Structures are given as C-alpha cells and as structure tokens.
Amino acid sequence: MEVRKEPPPGVTGLALAEYYFGPLLSPIAATPAQWTTYAEHRRGVNFEYRNVFDRHRPSISDSVAPIEKELGLDNGTLQKCISVMERMVERDDVNPRNADIFVRIYSPTVPKYVDVRIKYHCRSRLYNIDWFYSIGYRICNRISGEPTAYYSPSEDCLPSMYHTRGGWQSICWGYYDDEDNYGPKWRRIEQGDVELHEEGVLDVHEALFGPIETPSSDNADELLAYRRKLVATVRLLLAAVGIDYEVACTDEETDEGPRDYMLEGLSDKWVARGIRDACGFQLSGDEEAAKRGEEERKKCQAHEDYYVEEDSEEEDEW
C-alpha cells in the first residue's frame, strides 16, 4: 500500500485531492472547500478500511477490472476508489449462503461518493430453497460528517422495500414467495424487479464520472458508446459488491449472469433486460424474452412439478 507523506504547506482543494489520489479523471469544477473535504474524507476511509486495490478483494477486484478495461482506464483506477465498509459473507461450500456487504465508491472525477449495499440469502432445504436479496445505492452529493459514518437501510420489511428510505434507491431485488407455498408441493414462485430507472442511472453516472451528453439518434457508433457507458456505470455498482453481471448491448452479445450470486430465481435474465431499460434501450429480442419469462413464471406457479427435472443441476450450481 502506497503511503504518501503530508503535502507541502498550503496545498488545499483540487491540488490536495490530486496529491493523495491523482491522477483524477478530468475533474469537474468544484469549490476548493469541496475538494479539500473530499480529500480528507476519502483519506479517513482509506486509513480505516483501505481500498480493494491495496487490500485485495478477489471477488470485487475481479469484477471491477473488466469494467476498467472496457472504459479504457488503467488497472486499479476504479478499484482504488472502492472501500469495503462492512462485510459479512457465509458460504455454503463455494457460493454465498448469507451476505451483507456495504461498500463506498469515491468518484474519481467529482467530490462525491456512492454507497452500495447488498443483502442476500440463498439456502437449499429438504423441499424448498430459501432465497431473497436486495441491492441498493445512495448518492452523497455533498460530503460532510465523519468519514466512517454511513446510513443503514431498512430491513424490517420485504426485500422490495429494503433500499427505499433515507436516500437509498433500489437497484434490484428478488425472492421466492413462500406464502401458502411449502412442503413437498413447494414451487419456485419468483418475485422480483429492477427498480433502477433512466434518471437514476444518469444521476449515478454524473456522481461518479460527471455529466454525459446524449448523442444524436442517427449516429449509431456514438449511440452504442453512450449505451455502453451507462451499462458500465450500473455494472460498476454491482461489481463493487462482488457481482460480475455481463449485460449485452447489441443483439450479437449475450447476457451472462454472475456465478456466485443468484439474482434471478428462474432461467429468465430479467435483471439484464431491466438494466438495459434503465439505460434507455432494449434489444430486438428483449420483448419476446420477457414474454417467455412471464410464461415460465406462470407455469411454475401453476404446476408444482414444473421445475423438478432441473432441480439437481440448479442446486449444484447454487
């Protein structure tokens, strides 16, 4: 871990932020006081928790590194911005059974940060699978207070409500509905949604990388690059808690869900479609895929033996 000496007397503002964390990425204009607060705040968190580049966290580093490459950034550029504030992971053999992870992403461009948190549970039982999760984020547009302080989201409610108060915004959530659904006739009744919306994606991008201009609709190359940047922004939020979800941006690409965490309870990749929708576009096959997913959910709910043939493979994976 690189330890920098105290800066020369009188170094404040953006120069102080550059001294400790530079080179920053095309820093956005802000007051000297905002940059000074940013630098001291980020130093406090690094002192207490370090960052995932210096304190290697394989699941997070390995998820963030491909995004850095995709955005044309040097290895470690974004990893150095991420600190794990709280982490609890209990594994069942290889995959997580319980996880509660809270991370902070300091912007490399703006004196702001974004907190991200996942609450997750997945456990196979005799007749059923207990599964629920919720992922949310909270943007801090004006840094103040103790560096190590943070706002905990709610938990005394359904997963869909975990990240809806105190400035928290939901990214996505899911669970198996066990109401009147138990015992040998248990069925995989999936509930879930991507609640991230286009305005939220733009807010996160602005907080982390600055404003982004919408390209002309008749310039295909610029439009694709714009979409990739927005999708990479959402993927970064997931990667910061160790979730590597590859989201297709063209019809030739495919969605690849994470290996460790189950974000969809059936075979339908609705999280990927939801991310694309939040980024303002859909692929040509998304509408038909959504119909197939809805049909799958209806069959699972109506027929308790609908998923029996796939149980062994699914349980081996998760």
pLDDT digits (tens, 9 = 90+) for 171-208: 999 999 988 898 988 999 999 999 999 999 999 999 99
At 2 the pLDDT is 53
Q: Name the nearest CA neighbour of 276 among 260, 261, 289, 265.
A: 289
- Whether pLDDT at 74 is above 60: yes
Q: How many CA atoms lie within 13 A of 255 on its CB side?
A: 21
- Average pLDDT of the chain? 91
User: Long-range CB contacts (< 8 A, 24+ apart) of 242-246?
Assistant: 242/57, 242/59, 242/60, 242/63, 242/101, 243/63, 243/118, 243/135, 244/62, 244/63, 244/66, 245/271, 245/272, 245/275
At 94 the pLDDT is 82
User: What pairs with residue 92 in β-bridges?
Assistant: 95
Q: Name the nearest CA neighbour of 239 among 103, 107, 132.
A: 103
Q: What are phi and psi of 210, to 5 degrees?
A: 95, 175
Residue with the larger pLDDT of the pair 160 and 259: 259
What span, in angstroms and rounded, lies between the C-alpha atoms of 216 and 24?
A: 29
What span, in angstroms and rounded, lies between the C-alpha atoms of 40 and 12?
A: 10
At 4 the pLDDT is 67
Cis check: omega of the bond before 111, within 30 degrees of 0: no
Residue with the larger pLDDT of the pair 318 and 137: 137
At 315 the pLDDT is 38
From first CA to last CA, the distance across the chain in angstroms is 35
Other beta carbons within 10 Å of 243: 25
Q: Name the nearest CA neighbour of 249 among 261, 238, 235, 260.
A: 235
Residue with the larger pLDDT of the pair 131 and 5: 131
At 305 the pLDDT is 52
* CB burial of residue 37 (10 Å; 0-12, 13-18, 19+): buried
List strands edge to edge, sheet with 169-176. 82-92, 95-106, 113-124, 129-140, 169-176, 190-194
User: What pairs with residue 251 in β-bridges?
Assistant: none
What span, in angstroms and rounded, lies between the C-alpha atoms of 151 and 47?
A: 20
